[in-house]
C-alpha cells in the first residue's frame, strides 16, 4: 500500500472538531459588562446591607485583586492564569467587614451570581447541537478562573442535559488560548487542526490564537467598534447622570441590544442609529405605556391609548408593530389645543409669549383672525416683526374676551368632531392615555379644559418619554401624568439639559406630515411641511431601524431569557443614558449624519431653525465664556451637538455643566494680567486704555475691550504679541447694548471676519500667528455703532509649553 493511499485512509477516519468559547459566546451575561457579575456578588453577599452604596468600590477591589493575583502568578509561576480562590485571597476582607474565613463564601456567591446572570446563546446552542448531531466532536475551551468542574456546573445549569466531548479551562492548565492551551487541546484530543473549528468573540485569544495553531477560527463579535464606543460613552453618562445606582445590572437590556444588532443585516448608518440607539429607548417606553394602560384597565372602564402627533408618531408605529391592543394617532399640538381651550386671554398670551418673533401674517395663520388693533400693533415695529413677549404683553389691550371665546368655541367643536372620528367609540371612553415625548403636559391640560367645557367625563393620563415633573402639580385631581424618564430617574438639572437638546429627538421621531392647524369634517388640516425631502427620508430610515429593533426585541429577549423591562426604574435609567449619549455626546459619524437637520418651529410659521452651529458656540465662548455659552437659548436647537462640533471634550464639558458637575472655579475665567490697548479715533486722536486679560479653564486667554458710541473709535490696536508671541487666534467678536452690562450679557454675538483684521508685525498661518517680538499688533476696525456700547472680545490659545497662571492679587 503506497503512502498516498495510507494518507487518504487516515484522513477518511478524521472526525471534525468544533470548540466553543464559553463567556460572551456560548453563554451571555444579562448585565452591561462582565464585571456586572461582581456588582451582583456585592448584592447577593449581603455586603450591600452592611456596607451600603459602595458597589463601585467592591467591584474595583475585586478587579484589582484579580490583577494582583495574575501579576503574582506571572512572577512566581511564569503564567498569569489563576483560580478564583487565588483572586479572593488578595481581596481586602476587612474593608467590607469580613474575615479571611469568608473567602470561600465570596467564591460561592460569585458563582451564584454567574448562575443567575448567564444565559445560553440560542444561536450558538443551535450550531453546537447541529455539529453534534452530524457526528462532529464538540466541546469548550475557555480562558477563565473557574475550573473545569465549576464550568461544567455552570453550563449544565444554563442548559440542563448538555454534554460535550472535551472541556478546557485555562486555570486548570496554567496557559491561555493565546499561549499553549490550544496546543494542549489538539495533542490530548488527537485532533487534526485542519479539520478543527473554534468559535469565539475575542479577536486575540479566539481568532489569532486558533489560527496560530492551524485551527479554523469563526469570529463571533456582538458589537462592532462603533457600537462598542457608543456603549462605553453610555456607561460613562450613566455613572454621571444616575449617580448612586448600580451601573452594570440592567436586566439584560444591553445584551439584548447587542444580540439584535449582531443578528441584523448591515444597513445604512441611519438605520443602524435607529436599530442600536433610538429603537431600544422607544421600545422600553412602549412597554411603559403598555403598563400604564394595563394598570387602568379595570371592569367598567373603557381605556384608549392615544399617541399625540407629531412627536408621538414613532411611538405609535412601535405600538402597532408589536401589540394587538387598539390605539389612535391623535394630531393635536400645543397651539391648537390652547386656542381651543381658551375661555380667557391668558392661554393665548402664554402661547404667544414663547414665540421668538412674529408678524401679522403669522398671527392670522395661528389665530384665524387679525383684529384692526393687532394689525396696528405690528405696523409700529420695524418690518412689522415683534417678539412674542411684546405681543403677549399687549394682546389684552388689542383684543376682547368675546373674540377669543368665539374663536375657541368654533375650533373646539371641530376638534371634538375629529376626536370622534379617530377614536372608535370616543363617547364610551372613560380613560384616555396620552403618549408623547413630553414634557410639561400642555396639551393634556388644554384637553382637560376642553373636556370640562363640553361636559366630557374622560380622565386623561399623560404618559411621557421625558417629563418636567414640577409642571404637573396643577393636573386635574382625577387625571394623572407620568414620565418614563422622570425627575426620580435623573435630576431636574439633567432633565432640562436633555430637553434643551431634545429637538433632535423630535425631528427623528415625528411624522413626515406638516403640523396640524385646524380640522374640517373630522379630518386634519395641516400646515405646509417646510422640511426638505432629504430630511424626511433620513428620519424615515432611522425610524425603520427603530422599528426593526422593536420587531425583533421580544423574540430575542425570550430566546436569551432576558427581561429588560422587568423594573421600569432600571429600564428608564438606561434609556436616559442611551438618549443622553446621542443628544449630549454624539460621535463624529452622527454629527455628519444629523448635522444638516432643521427644526421646524411649529407655531404657525414656516421657519426652520438650524440644529448645529459650531461657529455660534465658538463665538459665544470668545465673547461670553463657557458657562454663558452653555446657557445659550435656541437656536441652534442642538446645542450639545454644536459643542461636539468643536471637540468631544467641549461636548463633555457641556454635559458636566448640565449635570451641575462643572466647578466654576476651575472652568471660568480668572484675571491673569493686563494689556495697554490703543484706541484710535477717526479724527486722528488716540488714547491708551488698560484692559484686563483673563485665563480660562480651557487654557485660553480672553480680552474684552468696551467702547462707547460717544468715543467715536475707528480702530483698536491690540498688542497681542505681549500676551503670546505664538498662538491660535480663535476669533474676534462684538456685542452691542445700551450699557456695558447689557452688551456683556447679550447672546447676539457677531464675529468679525478675519479678512477685516490687520496683522501688524504678525505672521499668519491658518488660524495661528507668530510675532518676532512684543510689538506685533492686531488691528480691529470699529464700525458705526448701532447701540450705545460695543464690547470687542478676543480669544487666543498660547502655543508655548508654559501656561499662563492666574493672578489673584488685588
Which residues, 6+ apart, have CB-to-CB distance to 15 below 8 Å? 135, 136, 137, 195
The pLDDT score that the predictor gives to residue 8 is 43
Q: Compute how many other C-beta atoms are within 10 angstroms of the C-beta atom of residue 96.
A: 19
- For residues 194 and 306, membership in a common domain is answered with no
Q: Which of helix, strand or coil describes residue 577?
A: helix
The C-alpha cell 436633555 sits at: 498
The answer to whether the beta carbons of residues 597 and 611 sit under 8 Å apart is yes
The answer to whether the beta carbons of residues 39 and 59 sit under 8 Å apart is yes
CB-count exposure of residue 466 (10 Å: 0-12, 13-18, 19+)? buried
| DSSP-assigned states of every residue in 305-317 | EEEEETTTHHHHH
CA 629 – CA 617 distance, rounded (Å)? 6
The sign of the dihedral angle between the CA atoms of 118, 119, 120, 122 is negative
Position 49 in a domain:
yes
- The parent domain of residue 714 ranges over 669-798
CA 14 – CA 582 distance, rounded (Å)? 52
CA 638 – CA 146 distance, rounded (Å)? 48
Position 254 in a domain:
no
**Type and span of the H or E element at 450:** helix 442-453
Position 586 in a domain:
no
DSSP annotation of 206 reads I
The sign of the dihedral angle between the CA atoms of 507, 510, 514, 516 is negative
Tally of domains in the chain? 4
Which residues in the chain land under pLDDT 50?
A: 3-13, 604, 810
- For residues 643 and 682, membership in a common domain is answered with no
What are the CA-CA distances from residue 157 to residues 152, 161, 200, 300, 559 (Å)? 8, 9, 21, 46, 16
The C-alpha cell 448635522 sits at: 595
Q: Compute how many other C-beta atoms are within 10 angstroms of the C-beta atom of residue 451.
A: 20
The pLDDT score that the predictor gives to residue 684 is 85
Residues in the chain: 810
| Burial track 114-128 (b if 16+ CB lie within 10 A, e otherwise) | beebbbbbbbbbebb
- For residues 74 and 194, membership in a common domain is answered with yes
Cell numbers for 537, please give them. Answer: 427620508
DSSP annotation of 263 reads H
- For residues 74 and 92, membership in a common domain is answered with yes
- For residues 319 and 359, membership in a common domain is answered with yes
Longest dimension (CA), the chain: 114
- For residues 313 and 198, membership in a common domain is answered with no
Please write down the HEC assignment for all residues of 753-782: CHHHCEEECEEEECCEEEECCCCCEEEEEC
Which residues, 6+ apart, have CB-to-CB distance to 517 below 8 Å? 335, 336, 365, 525, 526, 527, 604
Position 741 in a domain:
yes
Which residues, 6+ apart, have CB-to-CB distance to 555 below 8 Å? none
Position 46 in a domain:
yes
Which residues, 6+ apart, have CB-to-CB distance to 62 below 8 Å? 35, 38, 41, 87, 91
Angle between helices 279-296 and 313-322 (to 10 degrees): 70
Which residues, 6+ apart, have CB-to-CB distance to 385 below 8 Å? 357, 358, 359, 378
CATH number of domain containing 136: 3.40.50.1000
Position 600 in a domain:
no
Please state whether beta strands 670-681 and 523-526 pair in parallel, antiparallel, or not at all (unpaired): unpaired
- For residues 427 and 445, membership in a common domain is answered with yes
- For residues 691 and 622, membership in a common domain is answered with no
Q: Which of helix, strand or coil describes residue 74?
A: helix
Angle between helices 279-296 and 533-560 (to 10 degrees): 70
In 45-195, alpha helices (H):
47-50, 55-77, 84-88, 103-117, 122-133, 148-158, 170-173, 181-189
Position 738 in a domain:
yes
Q: Compute how many other C-beta atoms are within 10 angstroms of the C-beta atom of residue 652.
A: 20
- For residues 143 and 92, membership in a common domain is answered with yes
Q: Which of 526, 553, 583 is the last residue of a domain?
A: 526
CA 472 – CA 649 distance, rounded (Å)? 36
The answer to whether the beta carbons of residues 45 and 106 sit under 8 Å apart is yes
Does the pTM surpass 0.75? The reply is yes
CA 482 – CA 441 distance, rounded (Å)? 10
The answer to whether the beta carbons of residues 358 and 388 sit under 8 Å apart is yes
The answer to whether the beta carbons of residues 308 and 417 sit under 8 Å apart is no
What are the CA-CA distances from residue 176 to residues 21, 143, 202, 212, 714 (Å)? 12, 6, 12, 13, 75
Q: Which of 221, 250, 279 is the last residue of a domain?
A: 221
Q: Compute how many other C-beta atoms are within 10 angstroms of the C-beta atom of residue 149.
A: 11
The pLDDT score that the predictor gives to residue 664 is 81
The pLDDT score that the predictor gives to residue 741 is 95
Q: Which of helix, strand or coil describes residue 736?
A: strand
- For residues 139 and 110, membership in a common domain is answered with yes
The answer to whether the beta carbons of residues 387 and 633 sit under 8 Å apart is no
In 685-738, alpha helices (H):
none
The sign of the dihedral angle between the CA atoms of 554, 513, 446, 454 is negative
- For residues 39 and 162, membership in a common domain is answered with yes
The C-alpha cell 437638546 sits at: 501
Position 590 in a domain:
no
The answer to whether the beta carbons of residues 274 and 547 sit under 8 Å apart is yes
Please state whether beta strands 137-142 and 17-20 pair in parallel, antiparallel, or not at all (unpaired): parallel
- For residues 678 and 776, membership in a common domain is answered with yes
The pLDDT score that the predictor gives to residue 807 is 62
Q: C-alpha angle 607/610/616, rounded to 5°?
A: 125
Q: Which of 498, 526, 554 is the last residue of a domain?
A: 526
What are the CA-CA distances from residue 493 to residues 153, 404, 660, 661 (Å)? 48, 37, 7, 10
User: Comparing C-alpha atoms, which of 581, 582, 578 is closest to residue 570?
Assistant: 578
Amino acid at each position: 500500500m503506497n503512502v498516498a493511499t495510507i494518507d487518504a485512509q487516515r484522513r477518511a477516519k478524521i472526525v471534525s472538531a468544533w470548540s466553543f468559547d464559553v463567556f460572551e459566546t456560548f453563554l451571555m451575561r444579562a448585565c452591561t459588562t462582565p464585571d456586572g457579575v461582581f456588582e451582583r456578588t456585592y448584592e447577593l453577599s449581603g455586603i450591600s446591607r452592611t456596607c451600603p452604596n459602595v458597589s463601585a468600590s467592591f467591584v474595583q477591589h475585586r478587579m484589582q485583586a484579580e490583577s494582583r493575583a495574575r501579576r503574582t502568578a506571572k512572577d512566581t509561576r511564569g503564567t498569569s492564569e489563576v483560580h478564583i480562590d487565588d483572586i479572593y485571597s488578595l481581596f481586602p476582607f476587612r474593608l467590607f467587614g469580613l474575615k479571611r474565613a469568608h473567602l470561600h463564601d465570596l467564591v460561592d456567591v460569585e458563582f451564584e451570581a454567574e448562575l443567575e446572570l448567564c444565559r445560553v446563546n440560542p444561536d450558538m446552542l443551535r450550531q453546537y447541537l447541529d455539529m453534534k448531531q452530524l457526528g462532529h466532536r464538540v466541546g469548550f475551551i475557555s480562558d477563565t478562573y473557574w475550573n473545569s468542574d465549576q464550568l461544567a456546573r455552570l453550563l449544565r445549569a444554563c442548559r440542563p442535559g448538555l454534554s460535550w466531548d472535551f472541556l478546557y479551562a485555562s486555570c486548570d492548565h496554567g496557559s491561555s488560548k493565546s499561549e499553549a492551551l490550544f496546543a494542549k487541546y489538539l495533542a490530548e484530543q488527537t485532533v487534526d487542526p485542519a479539520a478543527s473549528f473554534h468559535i469565539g468573540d475575542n479577536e486575540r485569544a479566539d481568532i489569532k490564537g486558533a489560527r496560530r495553531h492551524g485551527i479554523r477560527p469563526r469570529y463571533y463579535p456582538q458589537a462592532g467598534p462603533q457600537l462598542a464606543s457608543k456603549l462605553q460613552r453610555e456607561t460613562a453618562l450613566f455613572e454621571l447622570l444616575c449617580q448612586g445606582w448600580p451601573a452594570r445590572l440592567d436586566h439584560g437590556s444591553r445584551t439584548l441590544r447587542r444580540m439584535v444588532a449582531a443578528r441584523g443585516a448591515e444597513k445604512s448608518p441611519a438605520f443602524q442609529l435607529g436599530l442600536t440607539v433610538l429603537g431600544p429607548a422607544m421600545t422600553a417606553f412602549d412597554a411603559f405605556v403598555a403598563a400604564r394602560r394595563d394598570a387602568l384597565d379595570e371592569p367598567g372602564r373603557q381605556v384608549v391609548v392615544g399617541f399625540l402627533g407629531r412627536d408621538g408618531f414613532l411611538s405609535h408605529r412601535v405600538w402597532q408593530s408589536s401589540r394587538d391592543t387598539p390605539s389612535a394617532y391623535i394630531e393635536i399640538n400645543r397651539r391648537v389645543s390652547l386656542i381651543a381651550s381658551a375661555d380667557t386671554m391668558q392661554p393665548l398670551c402664554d402661547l404667544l409669549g414663547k414665540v421668538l418673533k412674529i408678524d401679522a401674517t403669522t398671527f392670522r395663520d395661528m389665530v384665524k383672525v387679525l383684529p384692526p388693533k393687532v394689525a396696528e400693533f405690528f405696523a409700529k415695529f420695524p418690518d412689522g416683526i415683534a417678539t412674542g413677549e411684546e405681543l403677549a404683553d399687549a394682546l389684552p389691550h388689542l383684543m376682547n374676551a368675546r373674540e377669543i371665546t368665539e374663536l375657541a368655541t368654533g375650533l373646539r367643536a371641530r376638534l371634538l368632531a375629529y376626536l370622534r372620528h379617530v377614536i372608535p367609540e370616543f363617547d364610551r371612553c372613560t380613560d384616555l392615555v396620552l403618549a408623547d415625548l413630553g414634557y410639561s403636559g400642555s396639551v393634556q391640560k388644554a384637553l382637560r379644559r376642553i373636556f370640562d367645557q363640553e361636559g366630557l367625563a374622560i380622565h386623561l393620563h399623560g404618559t411621557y418619554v421625558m417629563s418636567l415633573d414640577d409642571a404637573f402639580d396643577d393636573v386635574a385631581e382625577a387625571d394623572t401624568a407620568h414620565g418614563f424618564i422622570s425627575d426620580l430617574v435623573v435630576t431636574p438639572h439633567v432633565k432640562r439639559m436633555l430637553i434643551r437638546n431634545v429637538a433632535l429627538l423630535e425631528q427623528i421621531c415625528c411624522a413626515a406630515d406638516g403640523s396640524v392647524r385646524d380640522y374640517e369634517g373630522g379630518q386634519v388640516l395641516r400646515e405646509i411641511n417646510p422640511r426638505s425631502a432629504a430630511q424626511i427620508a433620513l428620519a424615515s430610515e432611522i425610524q425603520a431601524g427603530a422599528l426593526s429593533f422593536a420587531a425583533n426585541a421580544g423574540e430575542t429577549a425570550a430566546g436569551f431569557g432576558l427581561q429588560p423591562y422587568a423594573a421600569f426604574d432600571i429600564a428608564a435609567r438606561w434609556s436616559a443614558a442611551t438618549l443622553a449619549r446621542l443628544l449630549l455626546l454624539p460621535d463624529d459619524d452622527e454629527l455628519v449624519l444629523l448635522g444638516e437637520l432643521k427644526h421646524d418651529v411649529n407655531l404657525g410659521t414656516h421657519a426652520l431653525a438650524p440644529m448645529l452651529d459650531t461657529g455660534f458656540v465658538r463665538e459665544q465662548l470668545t465673547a461670553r465664556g463657557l458657562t454663558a455659552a452653555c446657557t445659550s437659548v435656541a437656536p441652534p436647537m442642538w446645542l450639545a451637538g454644536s459643542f461636539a462640533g468643536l471637540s468631544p471634550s467641549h461636548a463633555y464639558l457641556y454635559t458636566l455643566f448640565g449635570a451641575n458637575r462643572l466647578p466654576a472655579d476651575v472652568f471660568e475665567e480668572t484675571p491673569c494680567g493686563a494689556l495697554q490697548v490703543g484706541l484710535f479715533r477717526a479724527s486722528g486722536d488716540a488714547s491708551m486704555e488698560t484692559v484686563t486679560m483673563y485665563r480660562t479653564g480651557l487654557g485660553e486667554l480672553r480680552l474684552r475691550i468696551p467702547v462707547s458710541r460717544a468715543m467715536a473709535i475707528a480702530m483698536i490696536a491690540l498688542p497681542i504679541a505681549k500676551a503670546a508671541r505664538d498662538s491660535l487666534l480663535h476669533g474676534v467678536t462684538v456685542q452691542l447694548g445700551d450699557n456695558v452690562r447689557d452688551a456683556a450679557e447679550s447672546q447676539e454675538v457677531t464675529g468679525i471676519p478675519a479678512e477685516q483684521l490687520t496683522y501688524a508685525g504678525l505672521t499668519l498661518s491658518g488660524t495661528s500667528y507668530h510675532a518676532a517680538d512684543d510689538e506685533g499688533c492686531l488691528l480691529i476696525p470699529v464700525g458705526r455703532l448701532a447701540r450705545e456700547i460695543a464690547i470687542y472680545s478676543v480669544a487666543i490659545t498660547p502655543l508655548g509649553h508654559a501656561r499662563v497662571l492666574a493672578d489673584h492679587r488685588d
